[in-house]
Structure formats: C-alpha cells, structure tokens
C-alpha cells in the first residue's frame, strides 16, 4: 500500500485555511487539523499535561483536569520565551499524533496537514508540498474580529506580528491560494486537487 503524499496547508490568522480545508474535505481528502489536535492533546495526553504543569504551574488545570486556557494564554502571550517553551512541549506530541493518524490513511492519494505554525515549528520539512493561503492583513483582521468576539483589533495585530510574515510564507510555498474575495477559491482548489491526484 503506497504512502499518501503529504501536503501542508498554512496561512496567517484569518487567511481562511479552515475554509480551504473544508473544500478539500468535500472532495474526499483526509485532513489533519494540527491546531485543534494540539488543544485536544493539552487535555488528553498525560505526558504533555505533566510537562505543562511542571513548566507553568499546576494551576493551569483545575481539579477535574480541565485546562485553564485563559491563565495559560495570559502567561505565554506577552512572553516570547514562554510561548517558545510551550510550543516546544506541544509540537513533538502533535507530531507523534500526526504520524499515528497518517498510518491510518490507507488508500488516500494525498492527505492534508493544516497548521498555523507549519514553518515556525519546522514541521513543513517532513511534508512533500506546501499550500499557503493568503489574504490582505486588513481583511484578515476583519474576519477574525467577526469570528472571535473576545478579541479586539490590538489582539489580532499582535498575533499577526508574532506569526511569520505572509511574504516569507509565500516564498516557501509550492502553491498559493488567494482568498482575498476578488478571486473564487473553489476553482483554485479544484485545479490543485486535480494536479495533486495526478502526481506519480
């Protein structure tokens, strides 16, 4: 049984990665959402839970084992060192989980790995091709503010500043999908899907 081709999909906050992944999903392409899985593993992976408690304090979890995301976010959000430390704990556990998931994708021609920090975490190096989803900053900020009422414009700008600049991501991409509301995304995805299916 052949190993499916591994395609990474990334883009800055508000670029529309999840929307693009949903279109691929409709086409029957298996997709792994690294960011959602990371959140899940932070409350289900015993090794990761112990590491987080040791590094950031046991108050990060309540007596039922529920993660206090607000406390942890406040702890790491304003400290690049602490954010780097948290990522260094989470990313290896996500990589292990992803590899187990990949081993279950029998018969798929290709699979997607969706992750906001694909380049920053270095996980892109293990993938065959990378798709970058792009949109102008102002449009991305508007989308996030509509989606996440708990955030204000300053929060979103701070997140954008902490992520790799869009131009740099585009230089590392094999494919770019424009989600700027001037070009339809479905035809772009369909064209790419046909090409990916044809790879030998």
Complete edge-to-edge strand list for the sheet that includes strand 31-33: 31-33, 110-114, 5-10, 129-134, 175-178
pLDDT of residue 126: 92
Phi, psi of 109 (to 5 degrees): -70, -45
Residues of the chain with confidence (pLDDT) below 50: none
Give CA–CA dist 38/115, Å, rounded.
10
Q: What pLDDT was estimated at residue 65?
A: 87
pLDDT of 167 reads: 94
Residue-wise pLDDT for 49-100, tens only, equals: 999 999 999 999 988 889 998 889 888 877 889 988 999 999 999 999 999 9
Q: How far apart are CA 31 and CA 24, in angstroms?
A: 8
Position 1 scores a pLDDT of: 53
pLDDT reported for residue 190: 97
pLDDT of residue 161: 86
From 1.10.4030.10, 3.40.50.300, 1.10.510.10, 3.30.930.10, which CATH number describes the 5-30+105-198 domain?
3.40.50.300
């Amino acid at each position: 049984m052949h190993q499916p081709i591994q395609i990474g999909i990334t883009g800055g906050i508000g670029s529309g990665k999840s929307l693009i992944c949903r279109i691929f999903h409709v086409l029957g392409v298996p997709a792994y959402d690294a960011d959602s899985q990371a959140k899940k593993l932070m409350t289900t992976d015993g090794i990761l839970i112990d590491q987080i408690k040791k590094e950031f304090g046991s108050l990060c979890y309540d007596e039922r084992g529920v993660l206090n995301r607000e406390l942890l976010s406040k702890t790491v959000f304003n400290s690049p060192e602490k954010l780097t430390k948290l990522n260094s704990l989470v990313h290896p556990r996500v990589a292990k989980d992803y590899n187990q998931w990949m081993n279950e994708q029998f018969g798929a021609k290709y699979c997607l790995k969706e992750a906001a920090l694909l380049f920053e975490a270095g996980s892109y190096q293990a993938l065959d091709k990378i798709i970058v989803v792009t949109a102008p900053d102002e449009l991305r900020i508007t989308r996030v503010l509509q989606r996440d009422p708990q955030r204000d414009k300053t929060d979103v700008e701070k997140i954008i500043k902490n992520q790799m600049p869009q131009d740099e991501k585009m230089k590392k991409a094999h494919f770019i999908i424009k989600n700027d509301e001037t070009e339809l995304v479905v035809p772009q995805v369909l064209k790419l899907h046909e090409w990916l299916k044809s790879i030998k």
